[in-house]
Amino acid sequence: MSLLKIDNLKVNINGKEILKGLSLEVNRGEIHAIMGPNGSGKSTLAGVLAGKEDYEIVEGTIEFDGRNIFEMSPEDRAREGLFLAFQYPIEIPCVSNASFMKTAVNEIRKYRNQEPLDAMDFLRIMKEKAKLVEMDQSFLNRSVNQGFSGGEKKRNEIFQLAMLEPKLAILDETDSGLDIDALKIVSNGVNKVRNTENAFVVITHYQRLLNYIVPDFVHVLFDGKLVVSGGKELAFELEERGYDWIKKQYNSVLV
């Protein structure tokens, strides 16, 4: 059984069609990259998967680990192991990274009928995971994302990913706004977390990230659909030729 199965997904925002029949299947152990020009619907896809309210689901189904995702609240999707690394991570006042993560980890453990982690174990795990993204200890006591630089926010997303150990992680333009060093740190973090049991959907504009997080599949999202799919070489082709050839090809099919 595939981990994620999206079938003929059609989604509107304020009456405007954004996704127009998108299908995608992701299996455990796989990394899928979704690329595409601005406004093609990439972030909408991420938002729909996570359960953001602003969308109108017109048609189609999404199964996550065999369950109909539309019947699950955003928090239950997270507890079942769906993680979204936000394109624009949110700042939370007055809550330290540490207590935020402790609450999240223990909520998820409770959902899975596991005992809450005690303070010592939690601290140990947290320090371990912080190292994965080269996060300083002081980072943990600061309010979530408040006063963080763009790079720090993105590293914090990957730190949270490492803490929560999801089955499926969606990285929504995690590379945007990162310099090359931060990009390497973030990618390294992801590579250390990946294994044969989890899967990643990496949404990005640029091939650059895919040098570090090497995908098994690359899809091009255009006009609300995945119009071209291929192996990692497709990313290089896009980098070289841009998206125009796809637009032309696609539009000629339409005409």
Partner 1 sequence: MNMQKEPINIVDELTQSDYKYGFVTDIEHELAPKGLNEDTIRFISAKKHEPEFMLEWRLKAFRFWQQMKEPKWANVKFPPIDYQDAYYYAAPKQSANKPKSLDEIDPEIRRTFEKLGIPLTEQQRLAGIAVDAVMDSVSVATTFKEKLSELGIIFCSMSEAIREHPDLVKKYIGSVVPYTDNYFAALNSAVFSDGSFCYIPKGVKCPLELSTYFRINASETGQFERTLIIADEGSYVSYLEGCTAPIRDENQLHAAVVELIAHKDAEIKYSTVQNWYPGDKEGKGGIYNFVTKRGICEGNNSKISWTQVETGSAITWKYPSCILKGDNSIGEFYSVALTNNYQQADTGTKMIHLGQNTKSRIVSKGISAGKSQNSYRGLVSVGKKAMNARNYSQCDSLLLGDKCGAHTFPYIEVKNNTATVEHEATTSKISEDILFYCNQRGISTEDAIGLIVNGFSREVLNQLPMEFAVEAQRLLAISLEGSVG
User: Is residue 43 within the footprint of partner 1 (CB under 8 A)?
Assistant: no
Identity of the residue numbered 49: L
Binding mask 100-129 for partner 1 (x = CB under 8 A): x-xxx--xx--x-----------x------
For partner 1, the binding residue among 8, 114, 141, 249 (CB under 8 A) is 141
Q: Out of 92, 124, 128, 214, name the contact with partner 1 by CB under 8 A.
A: 92
Residue 193, interface with partner 1 (CB under 8 A)?
no
Q: Which stretch binds partner 1 (CB under 8 A): 19-27, 50-58, 189-197, 228-236?
A: 50-58
Alpha carbon distance, N-terminus to C-terminus of the chain: 37
Q: Pick the binder of partner 1 from 1, 38, 71, 94 (CB under 8 A).
A: 94
**Structure tokens of 157?**
């997303």
The reply on whether position 90 binds partner 1 by CB under 8 A is yes
Dihedral sign, CA of 45, 51, 53, 59?
positive
- Smallest Cα–Cα separation from 2: which of 27, 22, 31? 27
Under rule CB under 8 A, how many of the chain's residues touch partner 1? 37
CB of 75 to partner 1, least distance (A): 5
What long-range pairs does 11-15 form, CB within 8 A, spacing at least 24?
Answer: 11/41, 11/44, 11/48, 11/55, 11/56, 11/57, 11/58, 12/55, 12/56, 12/58, 13/44, 13/54, 13/55, 13/56, 15/56
Query: Which residues in this chain contact partner 1 in the complex, by CB under 8 A?
Result: 50-53, 73-75, 77-79, 83-84, 86, 89-96, 98-100, 102-104, 107-108, 111, 123, 137, 140-141, 143, 160, 164
